[in-house]
Amino acid sequence: MDRDRIEVRLAGFGGQGIIMMGYVLGKAYSIFEGGEATLTQSFGPEARGGACSAQVILSKNRILYPYVTKPDILVVMSQEAYTRYYPSLKDDGILIVEEELVRLGDLKPNQKLFKIPATRLAEEKVGRRLTLNIVMCGFLAAVTGVVSKEAMEKSVLDTVPAGTEEVNLKAFQVGYEYGKSIVG
């Protein structure tokens, strides 16, 4: 993966916190690690339950084109998102899925796959289903290493609504530890 420019697409459905995941990732890389980042987003016509995606570009250099063309990392949290966006993942890209919501087809041989039951972990380990996006942020940080754990934690604390910092930090830790248990 070209570390000078990393294209990330986060996708699922409205209500899963996809856009906030993009904010957390971009802020961690730009504000807390000193890189450059852009975030673009798209929503389906429905507020909750419709298609939703965030595109994040992380770069060591100035970003001249803010749209993802071929993601290095694809995070999918719904079947529709997988079906729609998987074909655009680079041949050597990283696919991260919410394993209880996405059924996979055949992957290309050089792609890496990481699966996590983020919704279940949010419910059982954190006690709040709504934190599944922050669980996924922790997992993404652990399995990809594109942003440091410390920068992501600072970004979570700086982004989540006031009064929810503790529960969201716990959610991040749950996802991060799950990811570290997979990659070692």
The model's pLDDT over 14-30, given as tens digits with 9 standing for 90+, comes to 889 999 999 999 999 99
Mean pLDDT of the 115-130 span: 97
Q: Are 51 and 43 in contact (CB under 8 A)?
A: yes
CA distance 135 to 117: 9
- Single-letter code of the amino acid located at 14: G
**Which residues are within 8 A (CB) of 28 and not within 5 positions of it... i.e. 6 or more apart?**
141, 147, 148, 151, 152, 154, 155
Nearest alpha carbon to residue 37 among 45, 27, 47, 46:
27
- The CATH number covering residue 157 comes to 3.40.920.10
pLDDT above 90: residue 132: yes
pTM: 0.94
pLDDT above 60: residue 49: yes
Tokens of 40: 């673009």
Domain limits for position 170: 5-183
Say how many domains are in the chain. 1
- The region, left, alpha or beta by phi > 0 then psi within -120 to 50, assigned to residue 34 is left
| Residue 45, pLDDT score | 56
Mean pLDDT of the 115-128 span: 97
| Residue 43, pLDDT score | 73
- Single-letter code of the amino acid located at 120: R
User: How many CA atoms lie within 13 Å of 90's alpha carbon, on the beta-carbon side?
Assistant: 16
Using one digit for the tens of pLDDT, what is the confidence trace for 82-104?
Answer: 999 999 999 999 999 999 999 99
Tokens of 163: 């009064």
